[in-house]
Amino acid sequence: MSALLSVGCRTKLRLFPAAVSCRRLQLKKEPTLSQDQSVSMSSLDSHQQLSAGCRDKSTAADSEECTRPPLQGLQLASHAVLDRARQRGRVSCSRCGRNRMFFCYNCCLLLGTDKEAVPRVQLPVKIDIIKHLKESDGKSTAVHAKLLAPDDVTIYTYPCIPDFHTEEVVLVFPGPQAVSFEDMLQRLRDRSSNGSGDSGEPRPKRLRAEGVQATPLKKVVFIDSTWNQTNEISTDERLQGLLRVELTSRKTCFWRSQHGKPDTYLATIEAIYYFLKDFHQLGLGLEYHGEYDNLLFFYSYLHSLVNSARRAASRS
Ligand SMILES: [Zn+2]
């Protein structure tokens, strides 16, 4: 499940069916550049500094990943746009006035970049991210998802969350009630067929054969907060009816370690990416050709910057 923190995005109020007003994120026009700044790790915000040697992931969906270095082999758009933005340095956000690199994580705005050169990803399901009100905006990777897939991602600030149609929505969150990804698919299919889904075929073969129409998944909910604060959100009664799924086979590459937590506790953007990759292969029965790799467009770039800075620091 996700680790991390908030994305405070101050935007308009909306009324949901449960008459709860919630702040939602919107992308706005980019601001102009401010003066040049030096190019170094100091250009990054403090939350972007630090890196851990991350181990790679192993999954039922793609065992090849086990043998690759982390975040390698992704089909990403060119990072040249981020290199140029980095050379320019931080710019002032047109909405809040804060100086940021690449994007304003408070306002969810791209900053100092050619908007057309930043990839836009289409997702097979809607993603709702519930962030904790008290969390620090700058530590979240959820904003990456909103910036890169604005049509399909919505961020809510807890306690403002919508009512979910439980039959077609799952919550990615670990715990004793959580099921595996494969079991999640099977339960969704069983629900849609009123529990008459046992054809006697081996499960993986059945999943591939059934394809997208047999997977009535419309929305996936992620909780975006520190692990110590997710409890308040996960126990909210409005989420109790959702089927919970646990992603256990991937290991995080996030450069902010979470003390005392296993490395299978993923950053939000990692959890979203791996969930969608598994859904593409196991839920839709399709071969994966990098369709959602660009969700890691910012994450992989920041990861490489942080690791380079670490290596440089260790040599000096
Ligand atoms: Zn801003």
Q: Summarize the confidence of residues 199-204 as an average pLDDT.
A: 48
* The two structure tokens encoding residue 60: 């039922």
Q: Summarize the confidence of residues 281-289 as an average pLDDT.
A: 93
* H, E, C per residue of the chain: CCCCCCCCCCCCEEECCCCCEEECCCCCCCCCCCCCCCCCHHHCCHHHCCCCCCCCCCCCCCHHHHHCCCCCCCCCCCCHHHHHHHHHCCEECCCCCCEECCEECCCCEECCCCHHHCCCCCCCCEEEEEEECCCCHHHCCHHHHHHHCCCCEEEEEECCCCCCCHHHEEEECCCCCCECHHHHHHHHHHHHCCCCCCCCCCHHHHHHHHCHHHCCCCEEEEEECCCCCHHHHHCCHHHCCCEEECCCCCCCCCCCCCCCCCCCCCCHHHHHHHHHHHHHHHHCCCCCCCCCHHHHHHHHHHHHHHHHHHHHHHHC
Report how far ligand 1's centroid is from the alpha carbon of 219 (Å): 28
Q: Look at residue 75 in the predicted model and tell me its pLDDT.
A: 96
Cα–Cα distance for residue pair 178/249, rounded to 1 Å: 14
Average pLDDT, the chain: 75
* The two structure tokens encoding residue 233: 């959100």
Cα–Cα distance for residue pair 84/91, rounded to 1 Å: 12
Binning pLDDT at 50, 70 and 90, where does residue 147 land?
A: very high
Please report, rounded to a whole number, the percentage of residues in the chain having pLDDT higher than 70.
66
Per-residue pLDDT tens digits for 23-66: 333 333 333 323 232 223 333 444 433 333 333 333 444 445 54
Greatest mean pLDDT range, 133-147, 265-279, 302-316: 265-279
Report how far ligand 1's centroid is from the alpha carbon of 84 (Å): 20
pLDDT reading at 158 higher than 50: yes
Binning pLDDT at 50, 70 and 90, where does residue 70 land?
A: low
pLDDT reading at 187 higher than 70: yes
Cα–Cα distance for residue pair 169/77, rounded to 1 Å: 30
Per-residue pLDDT tens digits for 290-299: 999 999 999 9
Q: Look at residue 307 in the predicted model and tell me its pLDDT.
A: 82
Binning pLDDT at 50, 70 and 90, where does residue 193 land?
A: confident
The answer to whether the beta carbons of residues 36 and 88 sit under 8 Å apart is: yes
pLDDT reading at 129 higher than 50: yes
Binning pLDDT at 50, 70 and 90, where does residue 259 land?
A: low
Report how far ligand 1's centroid is from the alpha carbon of 192 (Å): 43
Within 10 angstroms of residue 91's Cβ, the number of other Cβ atoms is 24
Q: Look at residue 298 in the predicted model and tell me its pLDDT.
A: 96
- What CA–CA distances, in Å, run from 24 to 57, 119, 152, 280? 32, 21, 12, 27
- CA gyration radius for the chain? 20
* pTM of the shown model: 0.74
Q: Look at residue 258 in the predicted model and tell me its pLDDT.
A: 60
Identify which has the larger pLDDT, 214 or 57.
214
Cα–Cα distance for residue pair 119/291, rounded to 1 Å: 11
Report how far ligand 1's centroid is from the alpha carbon of 94 (Å): 7
Report how far ligand 1's centroid is from the alpha carbon of 104 (Å): 5
Q: C-alpha 178: how far from its chain's center? A: 19
The answer to whether the beta carbons of residues 242 and 170 sit under 8 Å apart is: yes
pLDDT reading at 200 higher than 60: no
Report how far ligand 1's centroid is from the alpha carbon of 278 (Å): 34
Q: Summarize the confidence of residues 158-179 as an average pLDDT.
A: 90
Report how far ligand 1's centroid is from the alpha carbon of 134 (Å): 18
